[in-house]
C-alpha cells in the first residue's frame, strides 16, 4: 500500500506543483499545453466510446434494452468540420473510425474510399503516415486489396520519413509476395529499403530476412562456409561440391 501511494504521489506531484498562471516552459515537451484540436477531439471520442461500451455491457448483463446511438454519430460531423479546415489527422479518423455510421455498406465503402483519397492527397508526405501504413490492412473490407496496396504505394513513393517509408514499403512488399509473379518486385522494394536506411534496425532485419529468402531455401546454392579440420587444415564447403555433405553443428554452453 505504501508503494502504491508513493507511486501515485510521484505521478501527480508535477501537476500539483504547477503554477496555473505560469508561462509554458519552451524546454519541456508541452504536449498538454499544445494539444491540437484533433487530439482533443480524439480524446473526447475515446472517452465517449468507453462510456457507451460500458453502458451497453451493463444493459446486456441486466437483460435490458439498449438503444443509445453509437458516439461516432455525434463525433463524425465534428471531425468532418476539422477536416474541412485542413486538419489532416481528422481525415485519418474519418477514414478509419466510422464503421458505425448509419449508412448502407455501399455508401460507407464509397465514403471511406473518398476519405482515404483525400487523406493521401493532403498528407502522404506527413511523418504520421506511418500509422496509416500500419493500420490500412484492416480496411481491406472497404478498400479492397487493390485499394490497400494503393495506399501503401503512395506512402512508400511520396513520403521521405524513414519510419513511414519502412512501414509502407515492408507492408507493400509482403502483400506483393502473395502474388505468383510478385516476388521480384517485393524483393526489389526490400533492397531499396535496406539501401536507403542502412542504419535502421528495421532495415537490418529486412537484410537478414532477404538473405534467408534468397539463399536458405530448397534448391538454392548453399552459402559458402569456411573453417578448419581437426588437423588445422583450411576447408570450405565448396570443396565438396557434387558430394553428399552432412553438417553437424555442435558446441558447449
Nearest to 96 by CA among 151, 16, 26: 151
Q: 142 and 103: one domain? A: no
Q: 133 and 208: one domain? A: yes
Separation of alpha carbons 16 and 31, rounded Å? 17
Q: Tens digit of pLDDT for each residue in 145-203?
A: 999 999 999 999 999 999 999 999 999 999 999 999 999 999 999 999 999 999 999 99
Separation of alpha carbons 176 and 7, rounded Å? 49
| pTM (2 d.p.) | 0.74
Q: 142 and 191: one domain? A: yes
Q: 110 and 136: one domain? A: no
- Whether residue 95 is contained in a domain is answered as yes
Q: 96 and 157: one domain? A: no
Residue ranges making up the domain that contains 62: 37-123
What's the domain count of the chain?
2
Helix, strand or coil, per DSSP, at residue 235: strand
- Whether residue 2 is contained in a domain is answered as no
Tell how far CA 49 is from the center of its chain: 22
- Whether residue 186 is contained in a domain is answered as yes
Helix, strand or coil, per DSSP, at residue 228: strand
Q: 42 and 118: one domain? A: yes
Q: Give the mean model confidence (pLDDT) for residues 200-213.
A: 94
Antiparallel, parallel or unpaired: β 226-228 and 234-236: antiparallel
- Whether residue 5 is contained in a domain is answered as no
Cβ-defined contacts of 81-85 (< 8 Å, 24+) = 82/37, 82/38, 82/41, 83/118
Burial class of residue 48 in the structure, from the number of CB atoms within 10 Å of its CB (0-12 exposed, 13-18 middle, 19+ buried): middle
Q: In the numeric block, which cell numbers belong to residue 47?
A: 472517452
Q: Tens digit of pLDDT for each residue in 9-29?
A: 444 334 333 444 444 443 444
Separation of alpha carbons 202 and 133, rounded Å? 15
Q: In the numeric block, which cell numbers belong to residue 124?
A: 502522404
Looking from the CA of 172 toward its CB, the CA atoms found within 13 Å total 29
- Whether residue 20 is contained in a domain is answered as no
- Whether residue 23 is contained in a domain is answered as no
Element (H, E) at 172: helix 162-176
Q: Tens digit of pLDDT for each residue in 223-234?
A: 888 989 888 999
Q: In the numeric block, which cell numbers belong to residue 51?
A: 462510456
Separation of alpha carbons 191 and 203, rounded Å? 9
Amino acid at each position: 500500500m505504501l508503494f502504491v501511494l508513493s507511486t501515485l504521489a510521484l505521478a501527480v506531484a508535477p501537476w500539483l506543483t504547477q503554477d496555473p498562471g505560469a508561462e509554458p516552459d519552451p524546454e519541456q515537451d508541452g504536449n498538454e499545453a499544445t494539444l491540437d484540436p484533433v487530439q482533443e477531439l480524439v480524446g473526447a471520442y475515446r472517452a465517449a466510446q468507453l462510456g457507451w461500451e460500458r453502458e451497453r455491457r451493463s444493459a446486456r448483463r441486466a437483460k435490458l434494452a439498449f438503444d443509445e446511438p453509437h458516439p461516432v454519430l455525434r463525433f463524425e460531423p465534428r471531425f468532418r468540420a476539422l477536416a474541412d479546415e485542413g486538419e489532416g489527422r481528422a481525415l485519418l479518423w474519418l477514414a478509419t473510425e466510422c464503421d458505425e455510421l448509419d449508412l448502407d455498406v455501399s455508401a460507407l465503402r464509397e465514403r471511406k474510399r473518398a476519405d482515404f483519397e483525400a487523406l493521401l492527397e493532403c498528407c502522404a508526405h506527413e511523418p504520421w503516415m506511418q500509422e496509416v501504413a500500419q493500420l490500412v490492412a484492416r480496411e481491406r473490407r472497404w478498400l479492397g486489396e487493390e485499394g490497400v496496396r494503393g495506399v501503401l504505394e503512395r506512402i512508400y513513393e511520396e513520403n521521405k520519413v524513414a519510419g513511414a517509408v519502412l512501414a509502407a514499403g515492408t507492408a507493400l512488399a509482403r502483400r506483393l509476395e502473395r502474388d505468383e509473379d510478385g516476388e521480384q518486385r517485393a524483393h526489389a522494394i526490400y533492397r531499396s529499403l535496406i539501401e536507403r536506411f542502412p542504419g535502421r534496425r528495421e532495415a537490418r532485419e529486412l537484410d537478414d530476412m532477404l538473405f534467408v529468402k534468397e539463399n536458405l531455401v530448397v534448391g538454392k546454392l548453399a552459402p559458402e562456409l569456411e573453417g578448419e579440420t581437426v588437423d588445422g587444415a583450411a576447408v570450405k564447403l565448396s570443396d565438396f561440391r557434387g558430394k553428399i555433405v552432412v553438417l553437424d553443428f555442435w558446441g558447449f554452453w
